[in-house]
């Protein structure tokens, strides 16, 4: 089936990036959020990011204007029912995602494909809250979406081949690369990445190294573009903790136990860049380690 219209649930960090790339690729985009202010901020951010692409001669001004014109917003979730493809990019809490899909189902077209941008939650389980588990998939973009090349495609146990092939075609149209993952906790990227971050937090917790020395060691010793604690702040410490909890609960292996220091930072509301404090304090001109 041909996908021409895309509904995006959530106007946060991931949702606005997904809207950006779909609009640039020629899709009609309808983005929703419970907050009108969040939608306004998302549109301004998309415009700013596209303007940066124009200034770097990645795209033309005409292409930017056309892409921006393809994005519409609404605070009414059910307006997305007419779209060919819906991508849920709400907060990484299963109960929230389940409620969204249950609210959407009565308003969908028979052909609509439902997907979730979840970074760790069971696709098979989410699909059971819908009337179309065969047309339900995990569609996991990496952050920041306009920059990162990879999209993880995760089939639930009931996902049919036609749905998979349709989304494979969508990824190609976006100019990105797909990696197929089985539906096990955290899939591929986060199954490997987030335990590494958790181990870096343990290294800090146990006093093996400071924030600065841990990040410097991985950047210069393993050639990582960003240190693991800096990366955790970029992802969001609440998201890192949520993924570790999914791994720990889903695989029942103590090696996935979240570090108590990561839990403490989340309890303090120090979630990284989005709250201005995490393993670094971002309130000044340059980030300063908090430990």
Catalytic annotation present for 140: yes
Sheet holding 5-9, edge to edge: 71-74, 28-32, 5-9, 85-88, 113-116, 136-141, 150-155, 177-181
Given 16, 20, 88, 140, the catalytic residue: 140
Q: Is 98 exposed, middle or buried (0-12, 13-18, 19+ CB in 10 A)?
A: middle
Which region, left, alpha or beta, applies to residue 229 given φ > 0 means left and ψ of -120 to 50 means alpha?
A: alpha
Given 119, 120, 122, 198, the catalytic residue: 119
Given 16, 20, 117, 152, the catalytic residue: 152
User: Pairing mode, if any, of strands 288-289 and 280-281?
Assistant: antiparallel
Core vs surface per residue 5-30: b (16+ CB within 10 A) or e: bbbbbbbbbbbbbbbbbbbbbebbbb
Catalytic annotation present for 199: no
What CA–CA distance (Å, rounded) separates 265 from 90?
Answer: 22
Catalytic annotation present for 152: yes
Catalytic annotation present for 119: yes
What CA–CA distance (Å, rounded) separates 20 from 71?
Answer: 8
Q: How far is CA 212 from CA 53, 127, 180, in A?
A: 32, 42, 35
Tokens of 159: 């996902």
Given 88, 190, 198, 230, the catalytic residue: 190
Cβ atoms of residues 279 and 231 within 8 Å? no
Please list the active-site residues.
119, 140, 152, 190
């Amino acid at each position: 089936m041909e996908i021409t219209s895309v509904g995006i649930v959530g106007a946060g960090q991931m949702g606005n990036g997904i809207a950006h790339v779909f609009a640039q690729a020629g899709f009609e985009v309808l983005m929703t959020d419970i907050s009108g202010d969040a939608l306004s901020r998302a549109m301004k951010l998309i415009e700013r990011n596209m303007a940066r692409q124009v200034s770097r001669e990645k795209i033309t001004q005409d292409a930017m204007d056309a892409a921006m014109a393809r994005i519409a917003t609404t605070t009414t979730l059910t307006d997305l029912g007419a779209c060919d493809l819906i991508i849920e990019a709400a907060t990484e809490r299963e109960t929230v995602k389940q409620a969204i899909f249950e609210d959407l189902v009565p308003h969908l077209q028979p052909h609509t494909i439902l997907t979730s941008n979840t970074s760790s939650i069971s696709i098979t389980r989410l699909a059971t809250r819908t009337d179309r588990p065969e047309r339900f998939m995990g569609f996991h973009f990496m952050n920041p979406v306009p920059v990162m090349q990879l999209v993880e495609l995760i089939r639930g146990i009931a996902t049919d081949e036609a749905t998979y092939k349709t989304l494979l075609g969508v990824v190609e149209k976006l100019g990105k690369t797909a990696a197929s993952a089985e539906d096990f906790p955290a899939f591929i990227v986060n199954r490997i990445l987030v335990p590494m971050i958790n181990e870096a937090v343990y290294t800090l917790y146990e006093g093996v190294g400071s924030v600065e020395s841990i990040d410097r060691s991985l950047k210069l010793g393993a050639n990582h573009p960003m240190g693991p604690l800096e990366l955790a702040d970029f992802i969001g410490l609440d998201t890192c903790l949520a993924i570790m909890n999914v791994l720990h609960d889903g695989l029942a292996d103590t090696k996935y136990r979240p570090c108590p220091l990561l839990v403490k930072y989340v309890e303090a509301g120090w979630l990284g860049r989005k709250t201005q404090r995490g393993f670094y304090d971002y309130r000044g001109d340059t980030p300063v380690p908090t430990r």
